[in-house]
Chains A and B, each alone.
Chain A
Amino acid sequence: MSSVIIVILVTLGTLFVLLSAIGLIRMPDTYMRISVNTKAATLGVGLILVGTAVFFNDLSTTSRALVIILFVFLTAPVSAHLIGRASYFMGVKLWKGSIMDDLRGKYQKNSYILKSETDDSPEDNVDHSKMDDEASQ
C-alpha cells in the first residue's frame, strides 16, 4: 500500500520537474522562465521528498525531508524575486507579445528609486523595451 503512494508521489514530482525543464526551454522570456521554475520545480521536488519521507517512515527522516521542503519553499520565491529584480535593472528585454509592464517608467536608473506614478523624464528610467523577433529564442 505504501509503495503505491510512493509511486504516485514520485511520479507526480518527476512530471513537474520535467514540465519545468520543458518550460525553461520553451518560454520566450527571462521573466516567464523565472515564473515557471519557481512554481513547478519547487512543487516537483517537494513531492519527491514527501515520497522519500513516506518510504522511510521514521521520525528522523521525515523531519529531515520536511526541513528540506520548508527551506526550498521559503527560499525559492526570495531568490526568484532577487534575480528578477537584478535582470530588470540589467535591461533584460520583455517578450514582444507581453501586453503589460507594471513597472514601466517607475524605476529610476541611477538612484534606484521606485515611484508610484509614471515619471516624466524618460532618460532616467530603466530601459525596458521589448525584444525583436529573432532574439526571442
Chain B
Amino acid sequence: MTLTDYLYYIILPILAFSVLLIVYRFIKGPSIADKIIALDVLITTGIGIIGVYSIIHGRSTFLDTAMILALIAFLSTVAFSYYLEKRNRKK
C-alpha cells in the first residue's frame, strides 16, 4: 500500500466522517454560539483536508488556499462574536 493509497482510502474517509459529525452539531446546535463553534471547527478541518489533498496530488500551491481559509475562519469568528455581543448589549 503506497502513501497515496493510504491517504486516499483511510485518512480522507475519517476526515470526511468527522466533517459529518461537525455538520450534525452545526445543524442541531441549541444556541447560536454552538453553531459558530461548529463553523470554526469545520473550517479548521477543511484546512487539514486541503493539506492531505496537497500530499496526494503533489501540489504545494494548495496550501495558499489553506492559509486564506485560516484567515477567514478567524475573521468570521471575531465578527460573529462582536455582533452577538453588540446585539445583546442593545437589549
Give chain A's interface residues, CB within 8 Å of chain B: 3, 6-7, 10-11, 13-15, 17-18, 20-22, 24-25, 30, 33-34, 37, 41-42, 44-45, 48-49, 51-52, 55-56, 58, 60-61, 64-65, 67-68, 71-72, 75-76, 78-79, 82-83, 85-87, 89-90, 92, 112, 135
Dominant SS among interface residues on chain A: helix
The answer to whether A52 and B54 touch across the interface, beta carbons within 8 angstroms, is yes
Chain B, interface size category, equals 35 or more
The answer to whether A24 and B21 touch across the interface, beta carbons within 8 angstroms, is yes
The answer to whether A24 and B11 touch across the interface, beta carbons within 8 angstroms, is no
- Return the contact of A65 from the options B21, B40, B63 (Cβ within 8 A): B63
- Return the contact of A87 from the options B19, B33, B70 (Cβ within 8 A): B33
Alpha-carbon distance between A11 and B52 when the two chains are bound, in angstroms: 11
Least distance between B88 CB and chain A CB atoms (Å): 5
Alpha-carbon distance between A83 and B29 when the two chains are bound, in angstroms: 15
Give chain B's interface residues, CB within 8 Å of chain A: 3, 6-7, 11, 14-15, 17-19, 21-22, 24-25, 30-34, 36-38, 40-41, 44-45, 47-48, 51-52, 54-55, 60, 63-64, 66-67, 70-71, 73-74, 77-78, 80-82, 84-85, 88-89
